[in-house]
Structure 1
């Protein structure tokens, strides 16, 4: 999977969520930029995330992000890798220690464009985050990486209370509750 297949997946991506539909064209346009998969593109670049859920679809694995100090899904920078599915799986393994990770669907689960605040000499910029739905075993031990302050399986009923209002996480939660796909 490279930028051409990413472009095809984005062209076929459909969402009932207006906020996603509004920036789908920006994601497509970005696939034509040679720097789109590198942090050096300071105005914004691709990242990839894993929305990790248990098989029964009752919990999601979230990390208390070390730099942002917010509960988020696991993921990170592409760092030149055009295979964002591979990036999402690698980040999920590295940030959780889980070995039971299983891709639910090769299609894109969610996309989100969000601002990252300035940090040191890195200016404020956008992350164009491509997300994939991944399952894991709820009872497998977790290993907190150096990028996290904490890591926890959060019951779907508690996610909104724990994270505060984060529309992209709420959207992924709603999609998971609606879809009940491939259980």
Structure 2
């Protein structure tokens, strides 16, 4: 203790070292939080740019629609981006193949599906899983879900199976109907 300054106290060097180390760990943890938050927000934005609606993302992540909107806007929004499904050149919403790259392309309301993805979707329903496919990554929607068919609009609870991929979905009935259309046009 300094005799000229009765308020000053001696610092315990061991406690001071512990405090500095804890401060360093705290700063590192804050950096990790910022990095994790940034990665999360970018992933949410990529989901939206991939074709998922704000409400679909909100339900899947268990957050509000407004929060999803805030996240997307904070990470750059969607300015200058055009959805594959609204492109001037028709393309499969599941694999992105254009009409010149496939044998058949079946149109739905603002969405298309190619003959290859129809076949894969039908196999996914039959096998109750995800078959290996080089063209598109399609899988069954886990139930319960509030997602709906991009073709007929029926919710997952109204259909026997719902297949998703590329940000769009097709129910078993629409997949089979598209398969029938493709078969009829092939004759």
With the shorter chain as reference, the TM-score category is under 0.3
Per the normalisation by structure 1, the TM-score is: 0.25
More strand by share: 1
Structure with the larger helix share: 2
Larger radius of gyration: 2
Which structure would you say has the larger RCO, counting Cα contacts within 8 Å and 6 or more residues apart?
A: 1
